[in-house]
């Protein structure tokens, strides 16, 4: 169970916007300390493979199937 101070702090949060870019959701919310931004990564199958391909400089044509 969370400490009472942590639970009470959630009462002051107001979600302003949720934006999705690729596999990441950007959550903007108003907190007592001001406007905050949190990034949430969505788990996706094959995401590591795409990430590794980008890091290695490999290019892939998404419109064709490789056989």
CB 39 within 8 A of CB 20: no
pLDDT of residue 22: 78
- For residue range 14-53, list pLDDT tens digits in order: 778 888 877 788 888 887 778 888 888 776 655 555 555 5
pLDDT of residue 1: 47
pLDDT of residue 32: 78
Ramachandran sector of residue 65 (left: φ over 0; alpha: ψ -120 to 50; beta: rest): beta
pLDDT of residue 23: 76
pTM over 0.85: no
């Amino acid at each position: 169970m969370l400490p009472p101070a942590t639970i009470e702090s959630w009462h002051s949060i107001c979600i302003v916007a949720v934006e999705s870019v690729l596999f990441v959701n950007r959550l903007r919310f108003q907190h007592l300390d001001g406007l905050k931004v949190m990034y949430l990564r969505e788990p996706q199958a094959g995401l590591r493979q795409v990430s590794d391909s980008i890091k290695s400089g490999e290019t892939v044509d998404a419109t064709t199937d490789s056989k």
